[in-house]
Amino acid sequence: MIDMQLADNPITKILNKKLKLKNFENLSELVNKRDRLKNFQFNFEDLIVDITRQSLDEDVRNDLIELAKFANIKEKIQDLV
């Protein structure tokens, strides 16, 4: 796959458009959703990544996962190890 700048990635453009339409003003409502911890906290070996208090919903999270796949993040992490 050809390396591309994040700004040139088509998924980034879709994500930016969606974020402009989202209303994350009520963060407490967002962070108190039932499955928030399960969907926005990740473990990698002894590292815990907690993004439960970020202005993200399931839709945005899924787009970010697609962006990571498109950018071959797993392969790039393996290259660092």
Per-residue confidence (pLDDT) for residue 3, from 0 to 100: 61
pTM of the model: 0.67
Higher-pLDDT residue of 41 and 81 is 41
> Which SS3 state, helix, strand or coil, does residue 48 take?
strand
Instruction: Tell me the per-residue pLDDT of 12-54, one tens digit each, with 9 for 90 and over.
Output: 888 888 888 777 777 788 888 889 999 999 998 899 999 998 8
Per 3-state DSSP, what percentage of the chain is helix, strand, and coil (rounded to 5)?
Answer: 55, 10, 35
> Which SS3 state, helix, strand or coil, does residue 64 take?
helix
- pLDDT band at residue 2, thresholds of 50, 70 and 90? low
Which sequence spans correspond to the domains of the chain? 7-73
